[in-house]
């Protein structure tokens, strides 16, 4: 059965929509990492490796549960550390890139069957961000630029691979969940597509760095 990913900028409501899918439609939800527990700027290479391993665990669980549930929901992209290390300009960008490359080639990570990208107005994101963002990430103009670049990446990914991304305005979790369920992808899956992975790998770090220059 399909593995989907609910994605979007910080504070847009990914977890709320994911839980709505679980509560209303009996989807199996795999939660995201709690950013508030991470000391991002002080994290060494071992910490980043643990994040990669955690994403591998999330993916392994998603694949296993897809045999038991009609829909499996990833709350947040398993490739988010690639974006994150670019955002904070981690000195370990190359190593992190290599970690994900190896995991993907070993089929310990894969491409979700469809991304559902939630978006909201700048004003809404700013208001929500005050209480939901990690203490290590301050809401600034640079972060607003990142929001736009983040959405732009998924739009480019959708143009390169039509049908891979479906955009939804995050106005209300019930309506968003309804839209997602109406647009669940059908078989066959394409989780090991190396071209899709290369697109994610090549653009995620570069685009974030450019948005902050």
Which tens digits make up the pLDDT trace of 38-56? 566 667 888 888 888 999 9
Which tens digits make up the pLDDT trace of 107-122? 999 999 999 999 877 7
Please give the tally of structural domains in the chain: 1
- Global pTM reads 0.85
- In our burial notation (b when 16+ CB lie closer than 10 A, e otherwise), range 64-88 reads ebbeebebbbbbbbbbbbbbbbbbe
Percent helix, strand, coil in the chain (nearest 5)?
55, 10, 35
Kindly report the average pLDDT of the chain as a whole number: 83
116's enclosing H/E stretch is strand 114-119
Find the domain containing 140 and state its range.
3-212
Binned average pLDDT, 10 residues per bin, the chain of 213 residues? 91 89 96 66 80 94 96 94 76 88 94 93 68 54 67 86 92 92 90 91 57 38
- Which CATH number fits the domain that encloses residue 197? 3.40.50.300
Check residue 146 and give its pLDDT: 67
Torsion sign, CA atoms 122, 208, 93, 162: positive
């Amino acid at each position: 059965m399909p593995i989907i990913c609910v994605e979007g900028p910080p504070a847009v409501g990914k977890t709320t929509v994911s839980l709505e899918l679980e509560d209303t439609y009996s989807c199996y939800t795999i939660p995201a990492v709690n950013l508030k527990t991470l000391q991002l700027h002080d994290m060494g290479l071992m910490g980043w490796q643990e994040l990669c391993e955690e994403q591998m665990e999330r993916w392994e669980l998603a694949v296993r549960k897809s045999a038991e549930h009609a829909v499996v929901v990833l709350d947040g992209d398993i490739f988010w550390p690639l974006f994150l290390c670019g955002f904070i300009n981690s000195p370990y960008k190359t190593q992190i890139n290599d970690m994900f490359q190896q995991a993907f080639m070993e089929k310990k990570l894969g491409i979700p069957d469809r991304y559902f990208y939630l978006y909201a107005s700048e004003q809404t994101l700013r208001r929500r961000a005050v209480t939901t963002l990690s203490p290590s990430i301050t809401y600034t103009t640079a972060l607003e630029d990142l929001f736009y670049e983040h959405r732009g990446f998924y739009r480019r990914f959708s143009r390169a691979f039509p049908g891979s991304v479906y955009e939804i305005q995050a106005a209300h979790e019930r309506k968003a969940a309804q839209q997602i369920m109406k647009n669940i992808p059908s078989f066959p899956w394409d989780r090991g597509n190396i071209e899709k992975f290369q697109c994610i790998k090549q653009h995620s770090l570069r685009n974030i760095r450019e948005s902050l220059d």
